[in-house]
Amino acid sequence: MDELHAGERRRFFRYSMGSTMQKDLEVRTVEVVAHIDINVVDENFEPEFIAMVVEQSHQGCGLVLVRYNQDYEKIVKDMEVVVRVGRLHPMKARVRWRKNLDEDLFKIGLEFLE
């Protein structure tokens, strides 16, 4: 294998996944999944959409969703939703932005309101 030149080296460290036991994989999966309920009036949390968490902070998160049908067009900028990110309790959030990545994927940015 040829030695990499300075400009070709990776800029970030890569971490191994560690254990691949089923229990550990289930725990990790919970951490990267978000559930979204667009019905903020109802007190019951009944998520209609599932997303992958790609960014998260104390103030909000970035999610990627796969567009399965036209229902996904209901998620629009400035709407309020209820979201459960990973193991956090369901909380109200506002869609701050939406960006189409391709015909099947889109990304949204949520701001937590609680």
**Contact 34/84 with Cβ under 8 angstroms?**
yes
Q: What is the rounded CA–CA span in Å between residue 39 and residue 64?
A: 20
**Contact 44/37 with Cβ under 8 angstroms?**
no
Q: What is the rounded CA–CA span in Å between residue 74 and residue 93?
A: 15
**Tens digit of pLDDT for each residue in 38-84?**
998 888 999 999 999 998 888 999 999 998 888 889 999 999 999 99
Range of the domain at 61: 33-112
Look at residue 1 and tell me if it is in a domain.
no
Look at residue 39 and tell me if it is in a domain.
yes
Other CB atoms within 10 A of residue 23 CB? 7
Backbone φ/ψ region at 18: left (φ over 0), alpha (ψ -120 to 50), beta: left
Look at residue 80 and tell me if it is in a domain.
yes
| pLDDT above 50 (res 1) | no
Look at residue 2 and tell me if it is in a domain.
no
Q: What percentage of the chain exceeds 70 in pLDDT? A: 74
Q: How many domains does the chain have?
A: 1
pLDDT at residue 61, rounded to an integer: 92
Look at residue 57 and tell me if it is in a domain.
yes
Look at residue 55 and tell me if it is in a domain.
yes
